[in-house]
Amino acid sequence: MPERTSATLPDPSAIETKLAAARTRLILDKPFLGALVLRLPLRAATGDWCRTTATDARAFYYNPAYIEALSLEQTQFVLAHEALHCALSHFARRGHRQRRRWDLACDYAINPLLIEDGLIPPPHALVMPLYRGLTAEEIYPLIDERDDSETLDTHAYDLDERHGSSQSGRNEQDLEQRQHHTPKGQDANERHTPTTASGLEPRTAPPTPLTPDEREALSIQWRQRLAGAAQQALQAGKLAGELARQIDHLLQPSLPWRMLLARHLMAIAREDYSYQRPSRREGAFILPGLRSHQADLVVAIDTSGSIQDGELSAFIGEIDALKGQIRARITLLPCDRALAPGAPFQFEPWETFVRPERLQGGGGTSFKPVFDWVERQDGRPDLLVYFTDAQGEFPKREPCYPVIWLVKGSASVPWGQRIQLN
């Protein structure tokens, strides 16, 4: 983008009016995105660090000349783009990944969501049909290290690896100065000099990167904002499609499934003292006696091809380890569209729970055969655990026994308890 002289700089008032109009339209037409955009104060910026737009998870930075060149619809897109970077906590999810590839992955993940939601992208927005529906973590390994694409915006919440040690040194100096001179109790968004049309100059230097404490605090704050915005939009009936699915997946608690499963298995063991009257041959006194209930556990495994061998082996090993802590009889039901040949496979409490040598699968997914088999039995199990990606045909009615779905992926279940696999 060519540099402008002071005589040809865009009118600040006109740019702010345009941004305000774009935010208002988002609030009215896309209440979920609008609620998130309102959380980012608008800050004018110039210089090489912000040629288009940028965010540091605390504010929305924009180059006035860039905003002037966009249509109102494209302005809506860039506002929502930065807000989603923050709401999806891209600033806190990179870990040890290389920054440039991670930035590309985040843009590839966000742009299709906004386009599907009806927003109009500006020129040069990164879109790849191959990556549609994938998260940034899933996209990252698919990006070639030699990919020279450029992100739509500047992700200003990290150290800039492209500027080398001098940039890092300046950032560290700014960071130290900020920590020593920020008034106590001041919000992170207030640490930046506001830049508006009222006479203050646009920001020319990039904001300092987030400290670990700020990163953690902002991640929690943005997750709360995401949940609140999603709830309001769902109540208004204006949140659906791939955007709703990914948000639901992100808000699902990533709990340790082994601990949750162990808790359920321990609950059904029901080992307790009984005061039932003994037989006369044992004497006249009524003394407490330990009575143990043998748990009847049904384990169903999705063999449609979405579950990898390593994941399946780890799951079976975990069940076997938990089975050793209680007296449990296990019935194994591998299933895709039908039960696997040889099923059911049954294991008494004293037997090791192992995977059958051959498990055929790959023919689609239906959960009905498992529940139909249980229905034909004389009794009902204490618990049914289904290991699956939850993408298949469910029975229409919920059974009268507890069901736990250990779900790999982000699909939902119509009933039962869903536990997200880490």
Residues 296-306 have pLDDT tens digits of 889 998 887 66
The DSSP call for residue 201 is P
Query: Closest Cα partner for 301 from 360, 260, 351, 216?
Result: 360
Supply the pLDDT for residue 310: 73
Looking at the DSSP assignment, which residues form a beta bridge with residue 419?
A: 406
Neighbour-count burial for 341-372, b at 16+ CB within 10 Å, e otherwise: eebbbebeeeeebebeeebebeeebbbebbbe
Supply the pLDDT for residue 296: 85
Residue 165 has pLDDT above 90, yes or no: no
Cβ atoms within 10 Å of 322's Cβ, excluding its own? 18
Supply the pLDDT for residue 122: 93
Supply the pLDDT for residue 161: 47
Q: What mean pLDDT do residues 246-268 have? A: 64
Residue 195 has pLDDT above 50, yes or no: no
Q: What mean pLDDT do residues 350-373 have? A: 79
Predicted model pTM: 0.55
Of residues 253 and 83, the one with the higher pLDDT is 83
Supply the pLDDT for residue 102: 93
Q: How far apart are CA 261 and CA 275, in angstroms?
A: 30
Q: Would you state the structure tokens that stand for residue 19, as one six-digit string?
A: 């941004």
**81 band by pLDDT with thresholds 50, 70 and 90:** very high
**22 band by pLDDT with thresholds 50, 70 and 90:** very high
Highest mean pLDDT among 154-163, 177-186, 398-407: 398-407
Mean of per-residue pLDDT scores for the chain: 77
Residue 25 has pLDDT above 90, yes or no: yes
Query: Closest Cα partner for 401 from 282, 264, 250?
Result: 264
Supply the pLDDT for residue 248: 66
Supply the pLDDT for residue 368: 94
331 contact partners, CB below 8 Å, separation of at least 6: 296, 297, 298, 299, 344, 345, 346, 347, 381
Residue 86 has pLDDT above 50, yes or no: yes
Residue 339 has pLDDT above 50, yes or no: yes
**52 band by pLDDT with thresholds 50, 70 and 90:** very high
Supply the pLDDT for residue 395: 93
Q: Look at 85-99, 200-214, 257-271 and tell me which has the smallest mean pLDDT.
A: 257-271
Highest mean pLDDT among 77-86, 139-148, 242-251, 330-339: 77-86
Q: What mean pLDDT do residues 334-356 have? A: 85
**374 band by pLDDT with thresholds 50, 70 and 90:** very high
Supply the pLDDT for residue 66: 94
Going from the C-alpha of 128 to that of each of 56, 75, 133, 134, 420, the distances in angstroms are 25, 21, 11, 11, 28
Q: Would you state the structure tokens that stand for residue 175, as one six-digit string?
A: 């960071």
- Residue 373 phi, psi (nearest 5): -65, -45
Residue 274 has pLDDT above 70, yes or no: no
Highest mean pLDDT among 53-62, 162-171, 259-268: 53-62
Share of the chain above pLDDT 90, in %: 26
Residue 232 has pLDDT above 70, yes or no: yes
Domains identified in the chain and CATH numbers? 6-251 (no CATH), 257-277+288-420 (3.40.50.410)
Q: How far apart are CA 406 and CA 256, in angstroms?
A: 11
Residue 273 has pLDDT above 70, yes or no: no
Residue 190 has pLDDT above 90, yes or no: no
How many CA atoms does the CB half-sphere of 394 hold within 13 Å? 17
Q: Which residue has the tokens 């299709």?
A: 112
**58 band by pLDDT with thresholds 50, 70 and 90:** very high
Chain Cα centroid distance, residue 227: 12
Residue 200 has pLDDT above 60, yes or no: no
Chain Cα centroid distance, residue 383: 28
Residue 68 has pLDDT above 90, yes or no: yes
Report whether the peptide linkage leading into residue 344 is cis, meaning its omega lies within 30 degrees of zero.
yes
Please write the tens of the pLDDT for every residue from 92-142: 888 888 999 999 999 999 999 999 888 999 998 998 888 887 888 888 988
Going from the C-alpha of 154 to that of each of 45, 57, 84, 375, 390, the distances in angstroms are 12, 11, 14, 57, 37
The DSSP call for residue 107 is H
Looking at the DSSP assignment, which residues form a beta bridge with residue 61?
A: 43, 54
**325 band by pLDDT with thresholds 50, 70 and 90:** low
Are the C-beta atoms of residues 413 and 394 closer than 8 Å to each other? Answer: yes
Residue 182 has pLDDT above 50, yes or no: no
**285 band by pLDDT with thresholds 50, 70 and 90:** low
Q: How far apart are CA 126 and CA 111, in angstroms?
A: 7
